[in-house]
Amino acid sequence: MTVSMHRYIAPMLLILAAGASAHATIVADFSKIADVTISGTDYNVWEMRVTTTTSWAAADLTIFLSQGSMYQDPFGGDYIPPSAATVSAHPNAAYDTYLRTYDPNVAAFPTIASTLTANTLDAGWFDPPPLDSGPGTHVIAQITLSDNATGTVSGIVTQAGSDEDRFDGTAGNPQRFSIINGGFGDTTPIPLAGDYDASGLVGQGDLTLVLQNWGNTAAIVAELANITSATGLSQGQVLELVPEPASAMMLMLGLGLLRRRRRYPGEAGG
C-alpha cells in the first residue's frame, strides 16, 4: 500500500473508529446533571457513567486542573455518595466530588493510594463481588467543577471478561476528554469529508491523491483487509462508509472552481 493511498483512507479510519465504538462492550462518558452556586462560586455537577454489556468491574481516573477547582464538601466522603440524612442536614453535600460502586450504599474500594483534592483526582477503584452491576448504564463517580475549571482527563474502565475502554493517552487510546470552562468536552476529532491528506481543508492536494490512486484496486483491497481486521466490520459495512471516488472528485472539482472564480465589477458578493 502506497503512502498516498494510506492518507487517502486515513479520514475514513477515523469514521470507522467512531462507528466501532458504538459496538464496544464497555464505554465511559461524562454527563452534566446540575448547575449550582456554593458560597458565591458557580459549579457544574457531572456524573461519570459506564455503559456495559456484562458488569462494570473497575475504573481508573486521573484529573489535573491547571485552574479552577473540584468541590469537596466537608460533610461528604471520597468513596460513597452522602446519605439522605447528611444531605438533609448539609444540603451542599449533595454536590460533593466522590467515587462510588454500583451500589450507592456501599463505599467504593480504592485499588491504589488515591488522591482527591481541589485540583487533583488520581484514583483507581472497583466494584467487588458479590456486588454485580449487570448490563446497562451505571454512575461510578460524581465530579463537581467550578465554572473556570480547565485541565486534563485520562482513564480506563473495565468490565467482567476483561474488555475495557481506555482514554489514557497510550497508543491507539487518545485522551478523548478534556476539561474547559467547568465542563467535560469530547475531543475526538471529527473528520472532514474529502480531506484525504488530513490538512483540515478540502482542495487541490486531496484531488491529487484521488487521481494518483485512481483505479488502484490492489491497494484498496489491502486497505479493506486492514480495516476489517482492526474494526471487526465486514467489507460491505466498510464500503457503506466510503464515498464513491467519482463523487469525491466531483465535489473537490466544484470547490476548486468556486474558489478560483473571479468576481467582476458590480457583481454582488456571496
pLDDT, tens only, 138-195: 999 999 999 999 999 999 999 876 688 999 888 878 888 999 999 998 766 555 666 6
Q: What is the DSSP string of 168-205?
A: SSSTT----EEEETTEEEE-PPPPPTT-TT-SSS-SHH
Asked if residue 82 has a cis previous peptide bond (ω within 30° of 0), the answer is: no
Q: What is the mean pLDDT of residues 39-53?
A: 94
Could you tell me which of 42, 14, 37, 67 has the C-alpha nearest to residue 189?
Answer: 14
The pLDDT, as a whole number, for residue 186 is: 74
* Cα 235 → chain centroid: 26
pTM: 0.63
Query: Does position 24 have pLDDT exceeding 90, yes or no?
Result: no
Could you tell me which of 149, 137, 136, 140 has the C-alpha nearest to residue 185?
Answer: 149
Q: Where in the chain is the domain with CATH 2.60.40?
A: 26-162
User: Torsion-angle region of residue 219: left (phi > 0), alpha (psi -120 to 50) or beta?
Assistant: alpha
Q: What is the third-level CATH fold of 26-162?
A: Immunoglobulin-like (2.60.40)
**Residues in a beta bridge with 141:** 48, 99
